């Protein structure tokens, strides 16, 4: 069963495994983390840098930490931007379950709108957003450079249902 657990510097997390995910080219191929090398210390520093109202979660499969989800919360505008990274167990359907749990958390913050963006070449994330009934808000053409090739950014949105 997939659950979310708040991720803090005091969490029972194997920081070396977390760093190994961020150093794996396949895991971060659609992430801006692909330009950096990570260690347990840089992972801890990142976790410490996430301050309320933002929220960071360990994505858990039973008792196994398999990924990380982040909610960037804008309380003034009632917006939440979601991001996710599965370090392991990709392609097994756990991402969509984790994504929907993150959306539930976003709604609990009082969000009126949830957003998410990815490279147009990130088919797993696009499938996840669409499966979560998010809608394409816009495409920012030629936004990223990946191996010297221009790649579009696709931005998704979902509004809270009224009533």
For residue range 112-129, what is the model confidence (pLDDT) as tens digits? Answer: 999 999 999 999 999 999
- The 10 Å Cβ neighbour count of residue 36 is 11
Residue 19 is given by DSSP the state H
- The 10 Å Cβ neighbour count of residue 25 is 7
Q: Whole-prediction pTM value?
A: 0.92
Where does residue 26 fall: left (phi above 0), alpha (psi -120 to 50 degrees), or beta otherwise? alpha
Given a cut of 60, whether residue 163 has pLDDT beyond it is: no
Average pLDDT on 55-72 reads: 96
Alpha-carbon 123 to chain mean position: 15
Helix (H, G, I), strand (E, B) or coil at 153: strand
Residue-range domains of the chain with CATH:
2-6+54-159 (3.40.630.30)
Q: How confident is the model at residue 31 (pLDDT cuts 50, 70, 90)?
A: confident
Task: Give me the percent of the chain exceeding a pLDDT of 90.
Answer: 82
CA distance linking residue 58 with residue 55, whole number of Å: 10
Contacts of 61 (CB under 8 A, 6+ apart): 1, 2, 89, 94
CA distance linking residue 50 with residue 67, whole number of Å: 16
- CA nearest 87: which of 20, 29, 8, 40? 20
CA distance linking residue 118 with residue 137, whole number of Å: 12
CA distance linking residue 77 with residue 98, whole number of Å: 24
């Amino acid at each position: 069963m997939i659950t979310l657990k708040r991720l803090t510097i005091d969490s029972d997390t194997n920081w070396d495994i977390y760093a190994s995910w961020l150093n794996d080219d396949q895991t971060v191929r659609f992430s801006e983390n692909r330009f950096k090398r990570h260690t347990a210390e840089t992972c801890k520093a990142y976790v410490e840098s996430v301050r309320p109202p933002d929220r960071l979660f360990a994505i858990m499969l039973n008792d196994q930490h398999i990924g990380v989800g982040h909610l960037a919360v804008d309380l003034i505008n009632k917006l939440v931007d979601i991001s996710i990274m599965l370090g392991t167990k990709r392609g097994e359907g756990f991402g969509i379950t984790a994504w929907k749990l993150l959306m539930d958390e976003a709604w609990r913050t009082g969000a009126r709108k949830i957003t998410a963006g990815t490279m147009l070449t990130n088919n797993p994330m696009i499938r996840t957003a669409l499966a979560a009934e998010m809608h394409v808000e816009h495409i920012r053409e030629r936004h990223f450079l990946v191996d010297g090739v221009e790649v579009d950014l696709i931005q998704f949105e979902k509004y809270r249902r009224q009533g």
